């Protein structure tokens, strides 16, 4: 009997030693997790573009000459600023100037012809008046009166035709002058020469009907820059002009630029049936703070509504079903929370958490679950 008691005592000691080893030497290390304290701050509800937006210019002219010709002068090169009306380029105008000179000479000739014809018409009218008085007195015959009347009417018609010829010649001068003006390319607005595709001595060719010709000049107004972004059609009813936005640009990593929605397209683009979008236009609040180049990609985040000083948690801390893991005395405790506004960064908490609670934000390991022993990484 005593032997069995000794054996039971030894077994109890071994079991106790095993538990002690498991609780000390063999105890697994706590899982290291990232956690954030629940606190108060700003929470926004936002929507973002489905595909990359594009920086554009409202005033951008890709200019091609209306007529063909040889380039004889380039007044401004790429990167230079110009004022509206300034000459950008000149084509060879020798033929055009010769045509203008010829048209003016023809105008002088038809004006002289008009003067001669109308003087004859005035003389015929006076002759008709004299013969009419003589006919009433019976001095001249009726036949002579008819001849004088016919001559007056004929010369008057010739005078009117000469006046019409003068107007036609003046129109020809105007036409030749306008054609000569087409050989001078001027800036339609203040801007910067973005591109120049011809050089001195090269020829430009006018575009035939229905076939656009490549431009020789690209003029951009840097003051008319805006961002165009495609938004998902499901968000179109919630976006309106005047709403604040944040614009991020690849060329300026880590920075966001505030702006406003200036236009929402009145239709939905359905070029891709599975990805229908509505275009919005955004203007930056301070366009001078950044140098935007047309064609640059940009992302737009429209702020639909926002709340200040509300209880919030990082959005990555949320589990499926509106739950979070709270660090309580080095162990994880699952909590059910009721949420409000949310975006990619923050989520408003209406119920379930208190200020100062530590919620786990690193949920990338399967062993991070309720009941696990953890330590919060610094």
76 with 148, same domain: the answer is no
User: Could you tell me the two tokens for 325?
Assistant: 């893991």
Give Cβ neighbours of residue 112 (< 8 Å, ≥ 6 apart): none
* Residue 338 located in a structural domain: yes
- Is 194 within a domain? yes
Record the pTM.
0.61
| Domain total of the chain | 3
What is the rounded CA–CA span in Å between residue 259 and residue 235?
Answer: 19
Residue 10: pLDDT above 70? no
CA distances from 361 to 290, 319, 334, 370 (A): 34, 10, 13, 14
The number of C-alpha atoms within 13 Å of 338 and in the hemisphere containing its C-beta is: 2
Strands 31-33 and 374-376: what pairing? parallel
Percent of all residues in the chain with a pLDDT value above 90, rounded to a whole number = 13
Q: Under a CB-based contact definition with an 8 Å cutoff, are residues 281 and 226 in contact?
A: yes
> Would you mind telling me the total number of residues written for the chain in this entry?
378
Domain annotation covers residue 292: no
Residue 326 and residue 362 in one domain: yes
**What is the C-alpha separation between 5 and 364, in angstroms, rounded?**
52
Asked whether the predicted pLDDT for residue 335 surpasses 60, the reply is yes
pLDDT at 63: 84
Whether the CA torsion 275, 278, 281, 282 is positive or negative: it is negative
Clarify whether residues 35 and 81 are in a common domain.
Answer: no
Q: Give 171-226 pLDDT, tens digit per residue.
A: 888 887 777 777 888 888 888 888 888 888 888 877 666 666 678 888 888 888 89
Residues with Cβ < 8 Å from 162, sequence gap 6 or more?
110, 113, 114, 117, 118
Beta-carbon-side half-sphere exposure of residue 237 (alpha carbons within 13 Å): 1
Q: Is residue 210 part of a domain?
A: yes
Q: Residue 40: which domain range?
A: 31-44+308-376
The full 3-state SS of 258-296, as one line of letters, equals EEEEEEECCCCECCCCCCCEEEEEEEECCHHHCCCCCCC
pLDDT at residue 28, as a whole number:
59
Give the domain CATH number at 371: 2.40.420.20
Question: In the structure, what pLDDT confidence band is assigned to residue 262 with cuts at 50, 70 and 90?
Answer: very high
- Dihedrals phi, psi of 230, to nearest 5 degrees: -85, 125
Pair 360, 34: CB distance under 8 Å: yes
On whether both 85 and 187 belong to a single domain, the answer is yes
Read off the CATH number of the domain in which 81 is found: 2.40.50.100
- Residue-wise pLDDT for 297-331, tens only, equals 899 999 999 899 999 999 988 888 888 888 888 88
Q: How many C-beta neighbours within 10 Å does residue 181 have?
A: 12
283 in any annotated domain: no
Which long-range contacts link 91-96 to residues 24+ away (Cβ below 8 Å)? Answer: 91/65, 91/67, 91/183, 91/184, 91/185, 91/204, 92/183, 93/69, 93/180, 93/183, 93/184, 96/176, 96/179, 96/180, 96/183
pLDDT higher at 311 or 150? 311
Examine residue 122 and state whether it is found in any structural domain, yes or no: yes
| Cα atoms in the Cβ-side hemisphere of radius 13 Å centred on 86 | 16
The per-residue pLDDT for 21 is 47
Q: Are 80 and 199 in a shared domain?
A: yes
261 touches 242 (CB < 8 A): yes
| Stretch (H or E) spanning 144 | helix 142-181
For residues 187 and 175, membership in a common domain is answered with no
Which candidate, 217, 228, 274, places its Cα nearest to that of 82? 217
Q: Which has more confidence, 211 or 80?
A: 80
**Which one, of 55, 56, 47, 58, lies nearest residue 298 by Cα?**
55
């Amino acid at each position: 009997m005593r032997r069995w008691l000794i054996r039971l005592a030894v077994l109890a000691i071994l079991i106790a030693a095993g538990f002690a080893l498991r609780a000390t030497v063999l105890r697994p290390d706590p899982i290291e997790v990232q956690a954030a304290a629940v606190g108060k701050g700003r929470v926004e509800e936002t929507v973002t573009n489905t595909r990359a937006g594009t920086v554009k210019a409202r005033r951008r002219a890709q200019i091609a000459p209306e007529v063909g010709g040889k380039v004889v002068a380039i007044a401004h090169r790429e990167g230079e600023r110009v004022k509206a009306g300034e000459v950008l380029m000149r084509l060879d105008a020798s033929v055009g100037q010769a045509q203008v000179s010829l048209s003016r000479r023809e105008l002088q000739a038809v004006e002289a012809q008009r003067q001669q014809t109308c003087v004859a018409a005035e003389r015929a009218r006076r002759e008709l008046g004299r013969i009419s008085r003589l006919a009433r007195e019976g001095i001249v015959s009726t036949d002579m009166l008819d001849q004088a009347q016919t001559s007056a009417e004929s010369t008057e018609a010739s005078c009117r035709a000469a006046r019409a010829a003068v107007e036609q010649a003046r129109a020809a001068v105007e036409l030749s002058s306008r054609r000569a003006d087409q050989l001078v390319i001027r800036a339609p607005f203040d801007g910067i020469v973005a591109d120049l595709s011809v050089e001195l001595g090269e020829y430009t060719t006018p575009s035939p009907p229905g076939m656009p010709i490549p431009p020789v000049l690209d003029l951009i107004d840097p003051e008319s820059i805006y961002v165009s972004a495609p938004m998902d059609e499901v968000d179109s009813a919630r976006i309106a002009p005047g709403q604040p936005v944040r614009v991020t640009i690849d060329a300026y990593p880590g920075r966001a630029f505030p702006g406003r929605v200036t236009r929402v397209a009145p239709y939905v683009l359905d070029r891709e049936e599975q990805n229908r979008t509505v275009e919005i236009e955004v203007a930056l609040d301070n366009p001078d703070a950044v140098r935007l180049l047309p064609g640059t990609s940009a992302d737009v985040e429209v702020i639909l509504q926002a709340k200040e000083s509300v209880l919030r948690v990082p959005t990555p801390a949320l589990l499926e079903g509106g739950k979070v893991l709270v660090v309580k005395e080095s162990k994880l405790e699952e909590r059910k929370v009721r949420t409000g506004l949310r975006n990619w960064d923050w989520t408003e908490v209406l119920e379930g958490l208190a200020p100062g609670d530590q919620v786990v934000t690193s949920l990338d390991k399967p062993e991070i679950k309720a009941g696990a022993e953890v330590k919060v990484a610094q």
